[in-house]
Structure formats: structure tokens, C-alpha cells
Amino acid sequence: MSAFTQDAVRRLRANPAAVLALCVLAAIALLTVCGPWFNPNQIQALDWLHVASRPGLQGAHWFGTDRLGRDLFVRTLAGTRASIAIGLVASLISLLVGVTYGAISGYIGGRTDHVMMRVIEILSGLPLIFFVIFLTVIFGRGEYLLFISIGAVGWLTMARIVRGQTLSIRQQDFIAAAVASGAGTGRVIAWHVIPNVIGPVVVYATLTVPQIILFESFLSFLGLGVQEPGASLGTLIAEGVGEMEAAPWILLIPGGFLAALLLCLNIFGDGLRDALDVRQA
Amino acid sequence: MTPTLSIEELTVGFVQQGETIEAVDGVSLCIAPSECVGVVGESGSGKTQLFMAAMGLLAGNARSSGNIRFEGNELLGAPPAVLNRVRGSRLTMIFQDPMTCLTPHLRIGTQLAEIMVHHRRASWDEARAAAVRMLERVQVSEPRRRMNQFPYELSGGMRQRVMLAMSLLCEPSLLIADEPTTALDVTIQAQIMQLLRAVRGEFGMAMALISHDLAVVAGLADRILVMYAGKIVESAPAQELFRAPRHPYTAELLKCIPRVFGARLARLPSLAGQAPRPGEKLPACAFAPRCPRAADRCRSERPLLMGADRQVACHFPLAP
Amino acid sequence: MSDPLLQVRNLTVDFGAQRVLSDVNFDLFRAETLGLVGESGSGKSTLARAILRLLRPAQGSVEFSGVNLLSSSARVLRAQRRNLQIVFQDPLASLNPRMRAGDAVAEPLKIFEPQSAPGARRRQVAAMLERVGLSADMAARYPHELSGGQCQRVAIARAMILQPALLICDEAVSSLDVSIQGQIVNLLLDLQAQTGMAMLFISHNLAVVRHLCSRVLVMYCGKLVEIADCDALFAAPLHPYTQALLAAVPRIDGTPGPAVPAAAEHSARAPSGCAFRYRCAFALPVCASQEPPLAQISGGHWAACHRSHETLNPLS
């Protein structure tokens, strides 16, 4: 680990809010993986004896059931898992595409940069929601499509950030030194540009995850995302809204998970940004 | 006679990661009215921080102790209101890079006049007139036109002249010049040094001239202080210092300056080792690891700055 | 003399509408140390970058051991770069902050000798670090953990590891402390004696050039104004600008040299005539209308001044 990373870790550790957020995130992740092992209920099993029952111990429905008698504990955990997975995968896609695209555009510059940036402007001119609806209509609904369509649009800002950083790094002598040492464009980008933009990139990626989770929930809420009988936090919340007055826990439990997830990711992202900010040192 | 600036046992440290890194270590000095003192040292010797402390411009994580008296008044730890009354009028400073010291979005004239309005309660018209006169005195060509220009429209040398005009407006009793010519070309450097000499004769203020370059200081300073690792190692009248340096560091430094004239050398004289890094663990005499005269005593017993007119902090100084 | 290692002909560089380098011609011979002096903005660094083709000149040619670098393909150019290396002014900025010193030195090896074994490469890097006066354990350090002088040694090691035929030093010692400057200059001299490489030593510090170089180019506003053997240049400079530069160097004895008048601020760049005439004490009407060509005044001593045949003494 480089001295720089060590410094960043030390500064991150000194930030109690970020550490707490990270602990809560780890606890949620652990719960979504291990939680279902301790609960006898199946995700799609209907328990007609307990329909829309309150959270409690009857039938091991710890978080209660929905109006079809499905166990909310298992469904909420599965939904959280699905949301986290979509957030991570889509962020990863946007990270890979955005960093590569931005670094190439910024480093090569000139006409290439011009064309590549116009493409980004056209894409970001399209309303994201229509773009996703458009894709779902053409390719049909499905989780993989959701990953791809969100990731495919999420990289635009990342590419812009990376390009801006690259433009300033390109001016530095160590880039000229590398070129003068015979390094080709690919090598300069991979070894000299990208390692030096990683700070802002990591921060932005951390802050992208909650955005994507929120967006996925929004799409699922509208019925465009994860489909029944599968669950994501968005579908669960959509379901809960219908029963808000009669059985508020159907809304509040997945809603609480979503809120906790977003809050922790945002706090952690902010903490990471502060930790990587060299000027703080 | 009260000295213009007297610093006693000044220590400046910076707190980093819970540790205090000393930048200035127990420095005492005195600048008499209308005296020009050159402060010479390599990067990291603490020469800039010494005067930043006097100006109350230390960074937030700095810890300082000791006394800094300016015209008899204590500046160290003085409230900002007191500092602001002195700074910019009685006590002024010019820096290495004049571009970063001028506000980029204000016209030169506004920046100059503002000082007079602020410190002297002058009207804007009077202040602008005074500013034009001052630009003339520092040999700025076409001063009236310059008043309406922005800093980026001026060359480096011209900006340094504007900075100098700004620092002279309220007739300071001490001007601190921190590497005033380091960022400038050699021909411009010669012009600015000539100007500083002229200005000093005209205004009669005391000066502290900070530089890494002994040769730059040579033409102007009455007395030269040589700093190494946060301490003053030698203090002497300028001519004597160059004629017969007593501290081995000063002697080595003088040898290291390459000469433009005279015989061509096959190799340049150099000083072995690295300048100490801030926070590095150093022996009693910080220069001992690089010193040709060092003995065991230098590593165990700290040499004190001794003497009256010529001071030297060395157990084995060179013969005068 | 033998064939020149580097032949620069009519090299011209434009930044937008501004001409920063115009019609530069010179030769650099094998094992020679050629100095290039001038003030900031005179185009010294631009010349270095144009030779290395780190930027695109508007016209001219740079022939390096018989190959024109400006017209050669990317492949040929990359192959030539192994023999043509550069050391920059700011030692910290010229090293990748996220790369250990050892990796930085090893990079040219990885590019040009990808087949060599990692162990052998590591030994080669350690040996190179020792040659530039660093201990082998410095290889594991990051640039910000090194002092300025040490960073510059790493940069020199990186440039030297492939044994280039020409090393360009762009203000390589200017940002170092006086006591360190001498070490680095001596290191360059030692490396040159061991390898027989040529050096183009760019500096605004005349004193360093004086002791290091055998011939000197003087540049003003993108043009070469004087070329001479080092001893001849310092003993009897012909161009008024060179004379002004020499006079402006601060002396230890404290005697102030005569100052040169400042250039007129933002004077529109004259389309004709001598660029130095605004600051020149000897300017004639002809200087405004006609650009003086770089002409040989005596054996190997060239100057671009209408009055270079007369004896002009700025100190009188």
C-alpha cells in the first residue's frame, strides 16, 4: 500500500461518521447474505394463515407479511441485496466505461476529444428515464437489462470528471518524460494518467452507488425495473404504498432499509472524499 | 535607540499528524532603523517562516513562542486588530511571486489606492493621486495607464514594481522582501535590485532581504544572517562575511556559488549530503553530518551563537 | 569535426498565432556539451520539446543520427527515443507521484527491453540508482518521500538507464539549492565521461553553463542571437543581449552591474527588425527595419546583430 493510501486510510479512520457508516453498510450487507439462513420462510411462499400480519414472532414473520402472506423479512433482504447488486454492477460499468472514455478523450485531445465530448453531450441531452423506458420497450424487461441501461448512462458524468483531471495531468512533466522515454499512448494512459485520477474517481463512484440505487428503486416503483415475484426495494415500496394506511410496516420496513443504505453510502462517500483530499493534509 | 524589529528566542513549529515539526528553532535577531539585513539559507532553513511569524501570517497549524517586537510593541500573539494596523502600513512585505499577491480581478490603481484609503483614511481621489506618484517613484512606465490595468496585463518585473509601490505607500519603517527576484529573469533581477537600492536610499526604511542566493543579497545588505535548519549559524557585516566567513557552512556555501568570470572549472565545487528535511532527527549541530570540520563534540553539544558584532554558532569556527 | 549527432534546421514553432520559435539552426556533435541560455519566454524549453517531438513544429527539420524525427513515423520515432532523453526543471513534477522511484527508473527498460527478466531488470535499476548516488533501497520510495536533489537523481537515472546518445537537460539544476546544484552538475559530468553522451544543457544560469559547456547558444524571443565557443562567449560577447545578460549576473563582491532597460510592455511583436532593439543601447534605424541575420563573425562565433563587427562595450 502506498504512503498516500495509508495517509488516506488514517484520515478516514479519524472520521467517526464515515467509520460508523461503513460499519452499518457492512452490517446490512452481512444481513442480506446471512439473514435468510436463519429464517424458515421462502421468498415466494404464501402463508395464508398470516396475511398482512404485523411484525412479530408468529410463523417467524419477524418483519410481518404483505397482503399475499409473503414474508417481509426475507423479501426485504432479497430486495436490498438486489438493490445493492444493481448499484454496484451499474457503478462498476460506469466506472470502467467512464474512466477509459474520459482518459482517452482528455489525453489524446484535439479532434478526437472534440468528437468524444459531443457524443457525451448528445447522450446527456437525452432524458435518462425515457432512454431506459425506450430500452425496456425494445428489449423487454429484465434485471440484466436494468444493469446495462443504468450503467450505460451513468458513465457520462464520470467521463467528464476523468477528462477534466486528465487535461491537467497531461500538462505535467512526468507525462512528457514518459513520452520521451518511448511510452506509447496506451501505456501513458494506463500507467501515468489513470493512477493519478483515481482519487476523485473513487469518490465519485462511491457517490454514484446511492444514486443508482435510488434510480433503480424509482424505476421499479414505476414498474419498469425488477419484476414480480422478484423483489427490489423499489417494488417493495411500491407495494407498501398501496397498504400505507392499513399496514404501514409494508412500506416502512423496506423504506427504512433504503433510507439507511442511501444515508450510509453518502456519508461514507463524503468521508472518502475528505480523506483523499490531499489539501487536507 | 529602539530597534525597528527585535526577535527573541522565536520558535515556530508546525503540528502535523500529532507531531510538531520545528521550522524555526530559538532565533534571536535585531534590525536597527534603516538597516538592511540579508537573511540567507537554503530551502527548509526556516528563513521565510521566521518573517511570516513577524507578519502574523503563519499557517493555521503553526505553534510559535518567543517575542517579536516591532517598534517596541509585541506582535506575537497580538490580536488581529493590532496586527492589521501595523501590517501594510508600518510593516510591509513583498513576495517571490507578485502574481499571486495581487488580486486578479481588481485594477492596479484600485488595489494601490485602497491601501491609502484603509490605513490613512485618505479620500479615493487623494489616494489615487498618491498611487500614481508612487508608481512613478518605482519607475513604472506610463503610471496613469497602469492604474487602469489588471495584474495579468503586466510582466513579472512590472508586477514586482507594483508590489513594491504598494508596500511603500504608507512609508513603512520595515520592508520585508522574501525572495523578491527569484521568479524573475537575470536582467530583470538586476533592475529590481537596483530599484530596491534606490528606494532604500530615498525612503530610509529598514529592510529584511530574504534570499537563497548570497550574491543577490551581497549588493544591498549591511549585515547578513546565515540560517541552517531553523537556526542562525552566522551573523556578520556583509563585506566581512564574504571576505572571511567563519562558519564552515557559510564558507562551503560561498565556495559552491559558480562564478561567471574567471577560470573554467572541470568540476563545480559542491557540498556533500542533503539539506535536512523538516522533522528529521539532527545531531546537536545540524550541519555536522555535512561539515568537513565536524568532530564528536558537534554531535553531542549544541553550538551557541556567540560574539558581538560577528556572531558564529560553531565549536570550530574558521579563523577570522 | 565529425558528422553532427543532431542537426536542427529552420525549426519554427507557433502557438496559435504567436511564433515562439523562429528559424532555429544549429548542430550538436557527439560527446559535446552544448549550452542554451536565454530568459524565460525566449523559447528554450519549446526548443527542447520540439526536438523531442513532444509538440508539433510548424516547419523545419530535426535530424538525429541521420533520421529526421519530425517526418518519421511513430514507430521510428519511438525507436529513436531510446537514444534521446530529457531531464526537466521541476524534479518532483517530472516523476509520477504514484510510481515508486525504482519503477520510474525501470520504465524505459520495460518499454525497450520487454523480454528481460524482472530480476535482471531490478539489478540493473539498483546499479543505475547507485551510479547516480542513491542507495538501492531508495527504489521503494515514492517521489514525495525524497528531497528535490534526490528526485532529480531519480529523473537522471531514468533518462540514463538506456545509455542515450543525447541527454537534454531543461533547467535541470535551476530549482535546486546552491549546495545541491554542484552535486548534480558533477554527476552529469561524470555520467558523460563514462558514456560519451552528448548534452544539450538549457539554463538561465550563465555561471553553470560557463563551467559545464563547450559551446553556447544564446536565444532571445525565439531566435538564436549568438553562437560561440564557451570561452569566446564569456570573454568577448558580440551580441548586446549577451552582453546585457553577463552584466546582470549578481556578483559576490556586491558591485552592481549596469541594468538593461525593461522591454516595453506588450509592445506589439514587430513583424520586421531586431526583437532586442527596444532594450538595446546601440540600436540604429536599420535595426527597426531589417532583421539582422545570424552571421559568422570569426571562426565558430556567430551573432545576429547589425553592429557585431564594431566593438561595443556596454560597461563604458
Q: Are C86 and A177 an interchain contact pair (Cβ–Cβ within 8 Å)?
A: yes
Nearest chain C residue to B41 by CA: give it.
C177
Q: Are B190 and C206 an interchain contact pair (Cβ–Cβ within 8 Å)?
A: no
Q: SS3 of C18, please?
A: strand
Say what the pLDDT of residue B18 is. Answer: 76
Residues in chain B closer than 8 A to C262 (CB atoms)? 141, 155, 157-158, 188, 191
Nearest chain A residue to C79 by CA: give it.
A182
Span C116-136, pLDDT tens digits: 899 999 999 999 999 999 988
* B213–chain C Cβ distance below 8 A for any pair: yes
CB-based contacts of B72, cutoff 8 Å, min separation 6: B2
Say what the pLDDT of residue C265 is. Answer: 43
Span B141-158, pLDDT tens digits: 889 999 999 988 888 888
Q: Are C245 and B187 an interchain contact pair (Cβ–Cβ within 8 Å)?
A: yes
Span B30-51, pLDDT tens digits: 999 999 999 999 888 899 999 9
The yes/no answer to whether this complex scores an ipTM above 0.90 is no
Q: What angle do CA B129, B133, B138 make, to 5 degrees?
A: 145
- Binned at pLDDT 50, 70 and 90, residue B165 comes out as very high
- Binned at pLDDT 50, 70 and 90, residue A280 comes out as very low
What is the nearest CA distance from C166 to chain B, expressed in angstroms?
Answer: 20
Residues in chain C closer than 8 A to A200 (CB atoms)? none
* B216–chain C Cβ distance below 8 A for any pair: yes
Nearest chain A residue to C113 by CA: give it.
A182
Closest residue to C97, CB basis, from A178, A182, A196: A196
Q: Three-class SS string for chain B?
A: CCCCEEEEEEEEEEEECCEEEEEEEEEEEEECCCCEEEEECCCCCCHHHHHHHHHCCCCCCEEEEEEEEECCEECCCCCHHHHHHHECCCEEEECCCHHHHCCCCCCHHHHHHHHHHHHHCCCHHHHHHHHHHHHHHCCCCCHHHHHCCCHHHCCHHHHHHHHHHHHHCCCCCEEEEECCCCCCCHHHHHHHHHHHHHHHHHHCCEEEEEECCHHHHHCCCCEEEEEECCEEEEEEEHHHHHHCCCCHHHHHHHHHCCCCCCCCCCCCCCCCCCCCCCCCCCCCCCCHHHCCCCCHHHHHCCCCCECCCCEECCCCCCCC
User: One-letter amino acid identity for B155?
Assistant: S
Span A87-132, pLDDT tens digits: 888 888 888 999 999 999 999 988 999 999 999 998 888 777 777 7
Residues in chain C closer than 8 A to A174 (CB atoms)? 93-97
Q: What is the mean pLDDT of residues C261-289?
A: 71
* C247–chain B Cβ distance below 8 A for any pair: yes
Task: Say yes or no to pLDDT of A153 above 80.
Answer: no
Say what the pLDDT of residue C168 is. Answer: 95
Q: What is the mean pLDDT of chain A?
A: 84
* A33–chain C Cβ distance below 8 A for any pair: no
Q: Looking at chain A, which subunits does it touch, using at least 3 CB pairs closer than 8 Å as the criterion? A: C
- Whole-prediction pTM value? 0.83
- pLDDT: which is higher, B156 or B246: B246
Say what the pLDDT of residue A53 is. Answer: 76
> For chain C, what percent of residues have pLDDT higher than 70?
91
What is the nearest CA distance from A232 to chain C, expressed in angstroms?
Answer: 40
Closest CA to C99 of C150, C159, C154, C142: C142
> For chain B, what percent of residues have pLDDT higher than 70?
100
Task: Say yes or no to pLDDT of A63 above 50.
Answer: yes
Indicate the range of B105-119, C163-177, C234-248, C302-316 predicted with least confidence. Answer: C302-316
Q: What are phi and psi of B225, to 5 degrees?
A: -105, 130
Say what the pLDDT of residue A279 is. Answer: 47
Say what the pLDDT of residue A281 is. Answer: 38
d(CA A199, CA A99): 12
Say what the pLDDT of residue C276 is. Answer: 86
What is the nearest CA distance from B210 to chain C, expressed in angstroms?
Answer: 14
Query: Which of C189, C209, C265 is best to mutate for the B interface (most B CBs within 10 A)?
Result: C265
Query: Which of C72, C75, C81, C96 is best to mutate for the A interface (most A CBs within 10 A)?
Result: C96
Say what the pLDDT of residue C251 is. Answer: 77
Query: Which of C152, C169, C206, C211 is best to mutate for the B interface (most B CBs within 10 A)?
Result: C211
User: What count of CB pairs under 8 Å joins B to C?
Assistant: 145
* C246–chain B Cβ distance below 8 A for any pair: yes
Q: What is the mean pLDDT of residues C297-302?
A: 88
For C177-189, give one letter per residue: b (16+ CB within 10 A) or e.
Answer: bbbbbbbbbbbbb
Q: What is the mean pLDDT of residues A141-155?
A: 73
- Binned at pLDDT 50, 70 and 90, residue C262 comes out as low
What is the nearest CA distance from C167 to chain A, expressed in angstroms?
Answer: 11
Q: Are C96 and A3 an interchain contact pair (Cβ–Cβ within 8 Å)?
A: no
d(CA B205, CA B221): 13
And the C-alpha cell for C309? 563587427
* C111–chain A Cβ distance below 8 A for any pair: yes
What is the nearest CA distance from C165 to chain B, expressed in angstroms?
Answer: 21
Q: Is the dihedral of CA C122, C127, C131, C137 positive or negative?
A: positive
What is the nearest CA distance from C218 to chain A, expressed in angstroms?
Answer: 24
Task: Work out the angle between the directed axes of helices C101-112 and C118-131 (0-180°, nearest 10).
Answer: 120
- Binned at pLDDT 50, 70 and 90, residue B247 comes out as very high
Closest residue to A195, CB basis, from C49, C82, C98: C98
* A172–chain C Cβ distance below 8 A for any pair: yes
Closest residue to B260, CB basis, from C207, C253, C260: C207
Task: Say yes or no to pLDDT of A243 above 90.
Answer: no
* B267–chain C Cβ distance below 8 A for any pair: yes
Closest residue to B194, CB basis, from C40, C259, C265: C259
Say what the pLDDT of residue C253 is. Answer: 67
What is the nearest CA distance from A170 to chain C, expressed in angstroms?
Answer: 11
Span B203-236, pLDDT tens digits: 999 999 999 888 888 888 999 999 999 999 999 9
Q: SS3 of A53, please?
A: coil
- pLDDT: which is higher, A218 or A113: A113
Q: What distance lies between CA B133 and its chain's CA centroid?
A: 26
Q: Looking at chain C, which subunits does it touch, using at least 3 CB pairs closer than 8 Å as the criterion? A: A, B
Span C60-116, pLDDT tens digits: 999 999 899 999 998 899 889 999 999 998 888 999 988 999 999 999 999 999 998
- pLDDT: which is higher, B270 or C186: C186
Q: What distance lies between CA B42 and its chain's CA centroid?
A: 12
Q: What is the mean pLDDT of residues C169-191?
A: 90
Indicate the range of B82-96, B262-276, C173-187 predicted with least confidence. Answer: B262-276
Q: SS3 of C6, please?
A: strand
Which of B 157-186 lie inside 8 A of C, CB atoms?
Answer: 157-158, 185-186
Complete DSSP assignment for A117-181: HHHHHHHHHS-HHHHHHHHHHHH---HHHHHHHHHHHHHHHHHHHHHHHHHHHHTSHHHHHHHHT
CB-based contacts of A133, cutoff 8 Å, min separation 6: A224
* C244–chain B Cβ distance below 8 A for any pair: yes
Task: Say yes or no to pLDDT of C1 above 60.
Answer: no
- pLDDT: which is higher, B70 or B100: B70
